[in-house]
Structure 1
């Protein structure tokens, strides 16, 4: 079960005044005694739609009011997105007066816009908002968390920085940060080192070679009689799979190779 989040903390993480928690409680959106990361996302979307006034509509800010159908749909879609394994960093919540839609990639975004050229709508970066939740505010859906961090030495006395992530038991991805590509011996050392810390776990190795400003990403694996194979990876796909932690790799240390 996700950890409980006090109302003041939930409001702070959602970048809202605490009064928004009280408003959400009053309309039945959240329970103040069971707040968690999912509710933080709901609070943020609720505050957004509550202040959204469509052109031609008149509404007093101080007037007490019930939620309109399109607002309820938007809030429910936000909660669903926090639970949906299809959610990605680029996922967008589209809100219109006649309904809401969540799309997860550029093709979906484009299709929505082209099919609503004659309509009024707004876009909420729901994937990015979910990604901004701190590690202690897990939603049912979340990006993998780092479970192991180490540095290993290579035979040339340079170092490889390891960051291991996992959400699935017995399966982990080890990111190896290095200035130059791993040799077959380096690859074997990485797998041996991670396996020693995480026994009975299948290890996937992803290499980030070069500088952090212009990295080259490859998934590494061995093929009988062919040796070590490098499969190029796109950083965008890694962001979709692992979230914004990818952009933080290596930033906690002063350098990868000394």
Structure 2
């Protein structure tokens, strides 16, 4: 969905992150600052969460920019490929040190949890984040209006 009124500041605001996070996401190629779209909100929100992750036994100096780690790039590309066609309200990414698993629903959640039982992981509810986009909120509002009458 193309919208000419998206800016890095607005993307950051909708994602609930600092504008610097959106600028960094653009600098690292997560989003294209010249062609911003609404779904970039989800990618920036995910990027902001990933940049804060440090796995056990991983050394990562806070004052040194290291670019996207391999598992971060895999996760961002998995999310980008899934949005919007493969996303449902219960879609989530189970992010681990070697990549991620996209799952939707109880069965796939259990399968991902079983696979990751002995290692640390991060759960990113990208389906929920997608449903919080302004156009999705408006669509739900419009869908609920006729029933309320």
Scaled by the length of structure 1, the TM-score of the pair is 0.53
Please give the alpha-carbon distance, in whole angstroms, between the structure 2 residues aligned to 1:144 and 1:113: 34
- Asked if structure 2 preserves the Cα contact closer than 8 Å seen for 1:81 and 1:126, the reply is no
Offset of residue 38 of structure 1: 1.6
Please give the alpha-carbon distance, in whole angstroms, between the structure 1 residues aligned to 2:95 and 2:142: 40
Return the structure number with greater strand share. 1
Please give the alpha-carbon distance, in whole angstroms, between the structure 2 residues aligned to 1:56 and 1:38: 33
Return the structure number with greater helix share. 2
Please give the alpha-carbon distance, in whole angstroms, between the structure 1 residues aligned to 2:20 and 2:50: 15
Please give the alpha-carbon distance, in whole angstroms, between the structure 1 residues aligned to 2:43 and 2:54: 19
Please give the alpha-carbon distance, in whole angstroms, between the structure 1 residues aligned to 2:8 and 2:76: 18
- Residue 145 (structure 1) aligns with: 139
Scaled by the length of structure 2, the TM-score of the pair is 0.88
Q: Secondary structure at the match of 1:61?
A: coil
RMSD over equivalenced CA pairs, Å:
2.3
Please give the alpha-carbon distance, in whole angstroms, between the structure 1 residues aligned to 2:83 and 2:137: 11
Please give the alpha-carbon distance, in whole angstroms, between the structure 2 residues aligned to 1:79 and 1:12: 20
Higher relative contact order (CA 8 A, sep 6+): 2
Please give the alpha-carbon distance, in whole angstroms, between the structure 2 residues aligned to 1:148 and 1:133: 14
Q: Secondary structure at the match of 2:39?
A: helix
- Which has the larger Rg? 1
Question: Structure 2 stretches of 5 or more lacking a match?
Answer: none
Q: Deviations over 1:177-232 (max 9, x none)?
A: 4xxxxxxxxxxxxxxxxxxxxxxxxxxxxxxxxxxxxxxxxxxxxxxxxxxxxxxx
Matched pairs, number = 148
